[in-house]
Structure 1
Amino acid sequence: MTTTALTEDMALRIGLAARALPDTTPARLMAVLADCIGLPPNAEKLDTLSIKQLRNGASGELADCDNSVLKTALAYLKGTASTDSLPPPAPQSPLTNAEGSDPEGVIRVAIASNNGELLDGHFGSCERFLVYQVSLDQVRLIDCREIDDRQADDDKNGYRAGLIADCQLLYVVSVGGPAAAKVVKHNIHPIKVPDGGAAPALIAELQQIIGDKTPPWLAKIMGQPAESRVRFTAEALEE
């Protein structure tokens, strides 16, 4: 799916609408939208979109969908559907190599979330962590880890950090100093995004960083050889 000129809000709308449609990926939905209203989609164009157009777009790509399903998807696209208390998306099986470990070049990213596939949680109060496997060309949601602070044994921050101990990166809206220390103790790099946003859009940005010039700290996390990390540093100094 091309994400050129898509805002985080628009990426979220398309992602939620695709999830509301059976057997539909964001890329498939984008093909329908391209035929109906042209690319890139925006709020003004989507306001003119009808259920009939959605059903008939891209040679009837969504022709088999019920009207009620199309109505829900259209509400997400137009931004009129509530995103409060959205359930987390269904995870997929993790990618593994022959030894059963994560393949080379794949990192695990945790997202502090309260609703759907959003980064909208503070480390100390979020309801769950969404865990993704991320590489340059793949993204896979592999777990939705619900949080029960009653299991914390008087160390809520340590308990929460332990839930994502297999991850290398953590995205949060905010995290306090003592909590961040517990996260770092597990060799997890915390990244604060105060405005939050759609998890897929944030991960797409991460993939862009990986694809362009991986910063040394991320290259180390991804297991890239030392000579590559030195090269990245040298290039950064030259700019």
Structure 2
Amino acid sequence: MSSIKITSNNSNEGMITVAFATKDLENIDSHFGSAKQFAVYEISKNSINMSEIKKVLEKDTDKTVAMLKGVDIVYFTEVGAIAAAKLINSGIFTIKYKEEVSIEEETKKLQNMLNSNPPPFIKKIIEKKAM
């Protein structure tokens, strides 16, 4: 498959929306099921912007997954099998880090991927949004 050309008048084209399970808004440092908040970023080839902080008001997997509707990728330190299946079935890609990772580092890594040769799952996200 050839690389995707991401140019148009639509400024959102080529943008991915990513949520990070975080306690301190600086690191990916929370288990999906016990996360009290998710920092949501919009990342494109040219920009990285925190768009919102989604607060988890009650511990309910279905409500948390529904709250993340519109997010393309969610990062966390751990996730249960049922929650992971619900996220994936909702069209949200899941990425787990066993250790704490800086959100700033990860957003820059994602932006670099968008500017070079994104992995197949990122290309799929971009293609789905372009439809």
TM-score by length of 2: 0.84
Distance (whole Å) between structure 2 residues aligned to residue 137 and residue 192 of structure 1:
25
Distance (whole Å) between structure 1 residues aligned to residue 122 and residue 16 of structure 2:
10
The match for 2:48 among 124, 136, 139 is 139
The reply on whether 1:122 has 2:26 as its aligned counterpart is no
SS of 1:104's equivalent? coil
> Hey, what does 1:204 align to over in structure 2?
108
Aligned residues: 121
- Gap regions ≥5 residues in structure 2: 1-8
Alignment of 1:25-104 (within 5 A): 103-104=12-13
Distance (whole Å) between structure 2 residues aligned to residue 141 and residue 192 of structure 1:
20
SS of 2:111's equivalent? helix
Give 1:117 shift: 2.2
The reply on whether 1:170 has 2:74 as its aligned counterpart is yes
Structure possessing the higher relative contact order (Cα contacts under 8 Å, 6 or more residues apart): 2
SS of 1:124's equivalent? helix
Equivalent pair of 2:40/2:51 in contact (CA under 8 Å): yes
Alignment of 1:178-197 (within 5 A): 178-197=82-101
Distance (whole Å) between structure 1 residues aligned to residue 113 and residue 44 of structure 2:
11
Moved over 4 A (4+): none
Alignment of 1:215-226 (within 5 A): 215-223=119-127
Higher relative helix content: 1
Distance (whole Å) between structure 2 residues aligned to residue 198 and residue 222 of structure 1:
24
- Gap regions ≥5 residues in structure 1: 1-96, 225-239
The reply on whether 1:111 has 2:20 as its aligned counterpart is yes
> Hey, what does 2:63 align to over in structure 1?
159
Higher relative strand content: 2
Distance (whole Å) between structure 1 residues aligned to residue 92 and residue 65 of structure 2:
9
Amino acid at match of 1:204: K
Distance (whole Å) between structure 2 residues aligned to residue 209 and residue 107 of structure 1:
11
Distance (whole Å) between structure 1 residues aligned to residue 107 and residue 42 of structure 2:
10
Distance (whole Å) between structure 2 residues aligned to residue 223 and residue 138 of structure 1:
19
Distance (whole Å) between structure 2 residues aligned to residue 136 and residue 194 of structure 1:
27
RMSD: 2.0
Distance (whole Å) between structure 2 residues aligned to residue 160 and residue 166 of structure 1:
12
Distance (whole Å) between structure 2 residues aligned to residue 169 and residue 196 of structure 1:
17
Identity of aligned residues (%): 28
